[in-house]
Amino acid sequence: MSDTPEDLSRILTIPNLLSILRIVGIGVFAWLVLSTGHKFAGAILLASLGATDWVDGYIARHFHQVSNLGKVIDPVADRILFLVGISCILAIGAAPLWLGLVVLAREAIVSVATILVASLGGRRIDVIWAGKAGTFALMFAFPAFLLAHSGSTLLVWMDDFAWVVAIIGICLSWFALASYIPQARKALSEGRSS
C-alpha cells in the first residue's frame, strides 16, 4: 500500500512527534552533561534518543505514517543529535577528539552534498543499509564512551565496547558515503531530465 499525496502532507504523526522530541531531548542531554555533570543520565538519554531514530522509521513505514515533513525533520534531528551529542562528549573529554572529528566530518559532507544535490534539481536519495547501520552503531558508541567516563568502576568495560562499535560504525558510514557518490550522480541526472 502506497501513501497518497494527502497522506504525505500530514504533519501530526507519531514519527514526527518522536523527531521533535529527539530535538528537544538533545538540549536536555547537553544540560545534563555540561551543566550538571550527570554523565550516566546523559549517556542513557543520548542512547535513548538514538534508538528513537529506528523507532520512528519503523512506525512510519509499518503504520503508513510516512510524511514529507518526516522526510525532512528526521534527518535534521539525526544531524543535530550527532553534532550536539558528540560536541558535548568531546568537550568533557569522554572520547578522543580525532574520533569525533572523523564522524562529524562525514556528517558535514553528507549534509552539504544532500543540500547541493537538491538545489541542483536532483531527486531524493534513499539511505542504504550500511548508512543506517553505521549511524545506529555510532549512536550507541558515543553514549558508551560517556558511560565509561562516568566514573563507575562497573562500567570500565564500556570503553572497549565503545571502541569496537565506533570502528564498525565509522567503517560502515564512510563506506555508505562512498556508495552515495554514484547514486548522487544518477539522482542529479534523473532529477534534471524529469
CATH class entry, domain 5-193: mainly alpha
Burial (CB < 10 A; 0-12, 13-18, 19+), residue 97, is exposed
| Residue 125 confidence (pLDDT) | 81
| Residue 120 confidence (pLDDT) | 87
| Residue 194 confidence (pLDDT) | 67
| Residue 17 confidence (pLDDT) | 93
How far, in Å, CA of 135 to CA of 43, rounded?
A: 16
pLDDT digits (tens, 9 = 90+) for 19-59: 999 999 999 999 999 999 999 999 999 999 998 888 888 89
How far, in Å, CA of 122 to CA of 116, rounded?
A: 9
How far, in Å, CA of 192 to CA of 135, rounded?
A: 30
| Residue 45 confidence (pLDDT) | 97
3-state DSSP assignment of residue 23: helix
Instruction: Report the pLDDT averaged over residues 5-32.
Output: 88
> What are the Cα distances from residue 44, in Å, to 30, 128, 150?
13, 27, 11
> What are the Cα distances from residue 94, in Å, to 60, 69, 104, 141?
34, 34, 16, 11
SS3 content of the chain, % helix, strand, coil (to 5): 80, 0, 20
Could you tell me the residue ranges of all domains in the chain?
Answer: 5-193
Query: Mean of the per-residue pLDDT values for the chain?
Result: 90
